[in-house]
Structure 1
């Protein structure tokens, strides 16, 4: 199932105010960027945010399970945003800001190889994060 334009527009409207936003559709999903940092995904009309130790407790308390794979610490990399959070712009803004911080930390930890400078180019703009 693909991402519907209506749902993606709703998500982008709800996220207004956290910073410069854009969404990029590819392969039946969309990546959501804030100030060039990929921090969220829309897959099958469900919004997912990036998660690490700093914001995982929010999702645990909401009873949300991880999506995709886990990192080396066993923490799921992305979690679905609960419907009640998505509906409340103030709460969503707080959760989104945490997800942007997670994504920014991850991006800062990635470096280009000195012998293969092109190796991390896609990851830096978010294309490899799908």
Structure 2
């Protein structure tokens, strides 16, 4: 389920210090982007932040798991987005710190994908 308008507005206000925050519906959820990089997902008005090997321990220590997941072919597929601790909604400065950590992870993931993506040949225009 996508983010409600009130929750989306709350997130835009809280995350404004990061830069240009936009949101887009994706696969029945809401992707949260900062300057074009997706660093969070909202499902059922629950915020999940991007994790990778560098920030995963922080999220585990805060008991901010299980990760966002979905069912496919009878299996549960865990995504690299973990639930933000509820206490952060009452601590705006720390909320932004966690969001910055997730944004950094999103940039690392994007850089890896960019390096490993197959190169596309440029199409030549017909004369």
TM band (smaller chain): 0.7 to 0.9
For structure 1, list consecutive stretches of 5 or more residues without a partner in the other structure.
71-75, 118-130
Shift of 1:5: 0.8
Residue 9 (structure 2) aligns with = 9
CA shift in 2, pair 1:88/1:26, >3 Å: same
Q: TM-score, normalised by structure 1?
A: 0.76
Mapped contact 2:68–2:83 kept (Cα < 8 A): yes
Taking the TM superposition and a 5 Å limit, the aligned residue runs for 1:43-82 are 43-65=43-65, 66-68=67-69, 69-70=77-78, 77-82=80-85
Q: 1:73-118 deviations in whole A, cap 9, x for unaligned?
A: xxx611001111133111011111111111101111113422578x
Normalising to structure 2: TM-score of the pair?
A: 0.78
- Which structure: larger Rg? 2
What SS does structure 2 have at the residue aligned with 1:47?
A: strand
Give me the whole-angstrom Cα distance separating, in 2, the residues matched to 1:99 and 1:116: 33
Structure 2: 5+ residue stretches without partners: 70-76, 123-127
Aligned residues: 112
* Equivalent-residue separation in structure 1 for 2:50 and 2:27 (angstroms): 19
- Structure with higher strand content: 2
